[in-house]
């Protein structure tokens, strides 16, 4: 596990986190009222720390598969009384979470799961008023199932690390949410407003390329990263 990825977000939140949270605030989903918010696949909890600071009246619950990250995160969140992390599997969530959240947010994880239908269904089963996700999406009706074998990152029993980098169709995602009872759907591309330097290594790692008109394209390895923020509500 790349613990550094989780640590450095505590020092400075990613620009994508600031912009996603700002977008949800502008739409009124995150606000100064008392709310219970879940961060699904919260990693080491840095996004929860950021939101807990920005929305002090709300309570933030993080859920992640990794015991190690939950332990690390809860240590870092000690003393913050509106943030707490729990170990759990997105695909096999404890029934105690049903009806507990006004909203569920998931930062940069859906595209790294094998699929989206079952994943969204599991979130809807908790019956939140709204679900917000940042990931890779395409506005057209095409889904890209992308699986990488990263030989820069050998794992315990393999020469490489395997990961998905799926790009889901926003048309299909909206239909899926509709079928789950979430009839309002909003999305926006995340056009990053700062330059990210190209890493020296050819391994995965996001950097930006400036195009004509000052728009930046985000790239990681061989892929263009079409980041979007989405939110679906009842």
Which residues are near ligand SAM by CB under 6 A? 9, 41-43, 47, 64-66, 69, 89-91, 107-109, 112
Smallest gap from Cβ 212 to ligand SAM, in A, equals 31
Smallest gap from Cβ 86 to ligand SAM, in A, equals 10
Closer to ligand SAM by CB, 49 or 69: give it: 69
Smallest gap from Cβ 69 to ligand SAM, in A, equals 5
C-alpha 61 chain-centroid distance: 14
Closer to ligand SAM by CB, 47 or 208: give it: 47
Task: Report how far apart, in Å, the C-alpha atoms of 215 and of each of 154, 194, 218 are.
Answer: 35, 10, 10
Closer to ligand SAM by CB, 152 or 215: give it: 152
Smallest gap from Cβ 133 to ligand SAM, in A, equals 10
Cβ burial 173-199 (10 Å sphere, 16+ → b, else e) = bbebbeebebeebbbeebebeeebeee
Closer to ligand SAM by CB, 82 or 109: give it: 109
SS3 220: strand
| Among 78, 126, 72, residue whose Cα is nearest residue 103 | 126
Asked if residue 77 lies in contact with residue 53, where contact means CB atoms within 8 angstroms, the answer is: no
Give ∠ CA 67-73-77 in degrees, rounded to 5.
145
Closer to ligand SAM by CB, 109 or 169: give it: 109
**Among all residues, whose Cβ is closest to ligand SAM?**
43
Extract the tokens encoding 78: 């000690």
Smallest gap from Cβ 63 to ligand SAM, in A, equals 6
């Amino acid at each position: 596990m790349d613990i550094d990825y989780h640590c450095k977000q505590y020092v400075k939140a990613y620009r994508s986190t600031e912009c996603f949270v700002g977008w949800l605030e502008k739409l009124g989903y995150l606000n100064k009222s008392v709310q219970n918010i879940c961060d699904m696949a919260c990693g080491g909890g840095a996004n929860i720390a950021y939101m807990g600071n920005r929305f002090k009246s709300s309570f933030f619950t993080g859920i992640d598969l990794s015991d190690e990250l939950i332990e690390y995160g809860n240590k870092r969140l000690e003393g913050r009384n509106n943030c707490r992390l729990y170990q759990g599997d997105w695909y096999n969530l404890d029934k105690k979470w049903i009806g507990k959240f006004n909203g569920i947010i998931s930062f940069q994880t859906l595209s790294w799961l094998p699929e989206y239908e079952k994943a969204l269904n599991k979130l809807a089963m908790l019956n939140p008023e709204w679900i917000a996700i940042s990931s890779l999406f395409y506005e057209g009706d095409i889904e890209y199932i992308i699986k990488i074998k990263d030989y820069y990152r050998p794992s315990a029993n393999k020469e490489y690390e395997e990961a998905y980098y799926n790009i889901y169709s926003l048309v299909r995602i909206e239909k899926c949410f509709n079928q789950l009872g979430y009839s309002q759907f909003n999305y926006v591309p995340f056009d990053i407003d700062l330059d990210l330097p190209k890493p020296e290594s050819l391994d995965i790692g996001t950097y930006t390329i400036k195009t004509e008109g000052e728009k930046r394209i985000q790239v990681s390895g061989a892929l263009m990263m079409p980041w979007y923020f989405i939110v679906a509500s009842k």
